Amino acid sequence: MLSVRGLAKAYGDVHALRGADLDVAEGQIVALLGKNGAGKTTMISIIAGLLRPDTGTVTIDGFDAQRDLDRASKLLGIAPQDTGIYGVLTVRENLEFFANLAGVEKGVRPGRAESVAEQLGLTELLDRRASKLSGGEQRRLHTGCALVHTPKLLMLDEPTVGADVATRAQLIDFVRATANKGSAVIYTTHYLNEVEALDADIVIIDNGQILARGTRDELVEQHRLQGLEFTLTETLAEATRAELGAVEVGTHTYRIDQDLAVGALVAKLGDRSDHLVSVEAVRPDLESVFLAVTGDRLEEVSD
């Protein structure tokens, strides 16, 4: 459904994308996982035709998205990070307005609006002005507006930021249902638990480059993560850290992502092992995959 090749984009000296490739098939959910500034929004904006790349191509359902923007844009739905709904319009009017923009025929729009509202738990609110909705309800409406025309490619940029637990669960269910009906979905998030709940194909992007792709289990397997996390009473010197291949993951807390027995760690630490407070085996999880792939922790966005 989507094929992206060699996408590069610089803003002055900042290389937001450095030659990224991405394929998403019908019915597939791809979770784009990356820290702040990794290049996720830039990539989505280029795919949606909102931004021109310096180099690279985007093909949506066989159409060159840059040359055939009109046709390509009818095939896609995007919910950017900032909610773009109109406060003075009702829920129904917002949904119909976005359906109209996407080229949905007039007679079909009311039915589409009601169906999307039902799936997102907004039926009771159809005739309420969007400005009078709660934050979570506005988030749901924002997502609904992106897919009221049943796009073949749906892109959601951090759709759950600021949403409560119930809204999150509802959005995740909705995204899965949308993919089950055949849409290709790109979903950016900082929340690893959402990636797991979506059962998505995970793409790790860092510093404008795609570094890894696979299901959760494939990535954990590929990176054979059975490391150790240990805490000391003091900071470990840079040289020792490098020697151990340890990454600082908290105050005086370090992580080694390689097979290493506790005894071997103690031996490597030598006299410094007197300062050990705790050592534990790292459970293989997505966080450790991210750390192994990028050399950094994924900062979780607090809301």
Closer residue to ligand ATP, CB minimum distance, 40 or 255: 40
> Taking the complex as a whole, how short is the minimal distance between the CB of residue 301 and ligand ATP, in angstroms?
8
> Rounded distance, CA 183 to CA 181, Å?
6
Cβ within 8 Å of residue 250, ≥6 positions away:
231
> Taking the complex as a whole, how short is the minimal distance between the CB of residue 34 and ligand ATP, in angstroms?
5
> Taking the complex as a whole, how short is the minimal distance between the CB of residue 119 and ligand ATP, in angstroms?
27
Question: Tokens 């093909």, residue?
Answer: 59
* Sheet of strand 246-250: strand arrangement: 246-250, 253-256, 228-232, 276-281
Pairing mode of beta strands 55-60, 63-64: antiparallel
> Taking the complex as a whole, how short is the minimal distance between the CB of residue 145 and ligand ATP, in angstroms?
20
Closer residue to ligand ATP, CB minimum distance, 20 or 85: 20
Closer residue to ligand ATP, CB minimum distance, 25 or 50: 50
Closer residue to ligand ATP, CB minimum distance, 272 or 297: 297
Q: Which of 111, 180, 95 is nearest to 143 (CA)?
A: 95
Closer residue to ligand ATP, CB minimum distance, 42 or 73: 42
> Taking the complex as a whole, how short is the minimal distance between the CB of residue 299 and ligand ATP, in angstroms?
9
Q: Contact 34/204 with Cβ under 8 angstroms?
A: yes
Closer residue to ligand ATP, CB minimum distance, 204 or 236: 204
Q: Contact 24/182 with Cβ under 8 angstroms?
A: no
Binding site for ligand ATP (CB under 6 A): 11, 14, 16, 34, 36-42
> Taking the complex as a whole, how short is the minimal distance between the CB of residue 66 and ligand ATP, in angstroms?
18
Question: Tokens 């990539």, residue?
Answer: 43
Q: Which of 257, 260, 240 is nearest to 291 (CA)?
A: 257
Cβ within 8 Å of residue 25, ≥6 positions away:
1, 184
